[in-house]
Amino acid sequence: MPVRRSIQRHYDAVLEAGARFFAARAQELATACWGMAQRFHRGGTLVIYARPGATFSDAQHNAVEFIHPVLVGKRALPALSVRDPAQLDLLAGPDDIRMGITGHDLAELPRGLQVAFGDRGGCDAEHAFAVGAGDPLVTQEVQETAYHELWELVHVFFEHEGLLQSQDCTEEVCLTCGDVALPAAVVRVEGTQGWVRTARGEEECDLSLVQPASPGELVLVHGKVALEKVKPIDQFSQEFYPFLTNERMDVPEVLADVARSVEMKWAEVASLRQATDLVAVERALEALLRQVRAGGRVLAFGNGGSATDSADLASDLQAIGVPALDLAGEPAVITAVGNDISFDEVFARQVIALGRPGDVAIGISTSGRSRNATRAFEQAKRQGLLTIGLVGYGGGGWKDAEQVDHLLVVDSTYIPRIQEAQATIYHALVRGLEEAG
């Protein structure tokens, strides 16, 4: 019963903190997305600072999402993570985006950050998002959804490239006379002439090069001349951003839509947390507690964003005195085994060398189809380890896997929301171990 109460308390705390944060900060998150998109459009790089340890895993997670997008057809955006605040000034130029992530006071971050996340306020960042949860595990989960949403929704503004231009010119002559052609929606057609709407307002335009033209079509305009038609937003974008249309070019309306999407995405992951099988989490925690009390170590692993989650888990366990190893955090071993044998063996090889009977192997995957993670579980069972798998897709490739003793499932097919719900699962395990003593 105490274990069950510990798990439920953690879930309740996350749901309360997230609901409060996203209701209050949705509009500012939307504005931060717009500012980031403008800087990316100018060639900027996202440089993310966090201190070594659990918080740095969030900086790495954020970077991998921007540079290796899971959304098919979305552009890779330049991002990197640094552990030393001095590296921000070294690597970040005037058109770059500086971000800081901390589980504690924002005041510990270097001054002048463009975007910052923390538990308490105090930083003079352009956008500073203090969660105010007072619990680093809860704070991390709210932050993860927030930076996922920045990454997801920054792409909205690439569908509206007119919003990526400088917004500080109000003279009529400046509407389409800049260095590049601007997307504009056709409003009215009168023969070869017409009116178009850009992010900055409406303007008369020569449509002779894009005939036949119809109201609602999107065209590229330069110097009040429509040069070519722009293809409609593709079906994937329409499904992912249901509020988008090619005709919507009004800044306040687009920002309001993005803000609503921020809250919708939080509601989605909140419902996934509420649907989690807490009895299964309780059973996994009880088994984990037995192994740890008997002297077992935890070996955690995963790929990509799940690799940063395994790093977060290992660091959180170490912080409460549980011996834990992050198998994804050994680049020399991973590249040696991957180069000389196979990438499928990068975790199994470490289990062979480091795993002992009575230890616990915890694998994190969104799909359960990562061959190297499955191989690690197979090897762990041969060597007498307890195995715990965190997976999405309703169980995915591990749904009926005999080599996984405890399978903790998030029933979703959307990777960011799966990862956020998985963070709550493994943090509940950490908190349960901590409170059990």
The CATH number of the domain holding residue 195 is: 2.30.30.140
Alpha-carbon gap, residue 104 to 141, rounded angstroms: 13
Q: Would residue 244 count as lying in a domain?
A: no
pLDDT at residue 260 above 90? yes
Q: What does residue 35 show for φ and ψ, rounded to 5 degrees?
A: -60, -40
Partners of 156 in the β-ladder: none
pLDDT at residue 202 above 90? no
Whether the Cβ atoms of residue 118 and residue 102 lie closer than 8 Å to each other: yes
Do 267 and 279 share a domain, yes or no?
no
Rg over alpha carbons for the chain, rounded to the nearest Å, is 24
Q: Give the pLDDT mean for 261-271.
A: 96
What is the DSSP code (8-state) at residue 234?
P
Cβ-in-10-Å burial (0-12, 13-18, 19+) of 352 comes to: middle
Do 139 and 196 share a domain, yes or no?
no
Q: How many domains does the chain have?
A: 3
Alpha-carbon gap, residue 180 to 173, rounded angstroms: 14
Do 93 and 224 share a domain, yes or no?
no
pLDDT at residue 70 above 60? yes
Do 130 and 118 share a domain, yes or no?
yes
Task: Give the CATH number, domain containing residue 261.
Answer: 3.40.50.10490
Do 7 and 99 share a domain, yes or no?
yes
DSSP state letters, 328-362: GG-HHHHHHHHHHT-GGGTTHHHHHHH--TT-EEE
CA–chain centroid gap for 106, Å, is 20
Confidence of residue 178 (pLDDT cuts 50, 70, 90): low
Alpha-carbon gap, residue 19 to 383, rounded angstroms: 44
Q: Would residue 51 count as lying in a domain?
A: yes
> Which one has a higher pLDDT value, 220 or 433?
433
Do 388 and 318 share a domain, yes or no?
yes
Q: Give the pLDDT mean for 268-296.
A: 97
Whether the Cβ atoms of residue 375 and residue 344 lie closer than 8 Å to each other: yes
Confidence (pLDDT) at 155? 85
Do 118 and 218 share a domain, yes or no?
no
Q: Would residue 55 count as lying in a domain?
A: yes
Q: Give the pLDDT mean for 219-244.
A: 64
Confidence (pLDDT) at 113? 40
Do 295 and 391 share a domain, yes or no?
yes
Average of per-residue pLDDT values in the chain:
86
Q: Give the pLDDT mean for 271-284.
A: 97
Do 381 and 280 share a domain, yes or no?
yes
The alpha carbon dihedral of 86, 129, 421, 282 has a sign of positive
Do 134 and 191 share a domain, yes or no?
no
Do 221 and 130 share a domain, yes or no?
no
Structural domain boundaries enclosing 389: 275-436
Q: Would residue 243 count as lying in a domain?
A: no
Confidence of residue 174 (pLDDT cuts 50, 70, 90): very low
Do 229 and 266 share a domain, yes or no?
no
Counting residues of the chain whose pLDDT is more than 90, the rounded percentage is 60
Confidence (pLDDT) at 249? 52
Q: Would residue 242 count as lying in a domain?
A: no
Q: Would residue 239 count as lying in a domain?
A: no
